[in-house]
Amino acid sequence: MKMRAPWLGAILAALLTATAGCRLASTPDASTDGMSELQAEIQNMLAGGARAFNEGRLDAFMGDYYRSPNTTYIGGRGLVHGYDQIRERYESWFEPDAERDSLSFEDLEARRLGAMYSLVTGRWLIHTGEEVAASGPFSLVLRRVEGGWKIIHDHSSTDTD
C-alpha cells in the first residue's frame, strides 16, 4: 500500500478551487461583429486613451492606468514603478507647447487570465500626418475594477529599423 503525503490532498483541493473558472484564453463571445465582449471593452478603453493623448489631456490618458504604487511600466528607458512615476514619464508629451503627434493602436488581442485579470497585446503607432513616425509592440496586464479595466503593467517596445 502506497502512503500519500497528508498535505497533498489539501494542496490539490486548494489549486482546484483557485483555478475554478479560470481560462487561459478567451473565446469570442456571441456578438454581431464576432468580437469578444472583452476585446470590445478593451478596444474602447484604448481608443479613449488615444483620443485623450491626441487632445493633450494627460489626466484622461492616465485614467486607463490603475492608480497604485504597484503599477509598472517597462519601456526603452527601463522599469518605472508607480502610477505617479509613470505619469511623470508622460508629462513632457503633454506640455502646452509640446509637439504631439497622434496615437493609435492596432492588432489588439485580449485574453482573460481569470475573472479579474486580462492580457492584452497589440501595436501602438505614432502618426505625423499620414506617416507613421514611431511604432512598436506592447503587452498590458489589466485588472478588473469597479468601472472597468485598468492597466497594472505596461510593457511597450519600439520597433527598430
Residues 6+ apart with CB under 8 A from 127: 101, 102, 103, 104, 133
- Report, as an integer, the average pLDDT of 122-150: 93
pLDDT tens digits, 150-161: 999 999 999 974
Average pLDDT over residues 61-72: 97
Whether the CB-CB separation of 142 and 155 falls below 8 Å is answered with no
Mean pLDDT of the chain: 81
How confident is the model over 83-114, as pLDDT tens digits?
Answer: 999 999 999 888 877 777 899 999 999 999 99
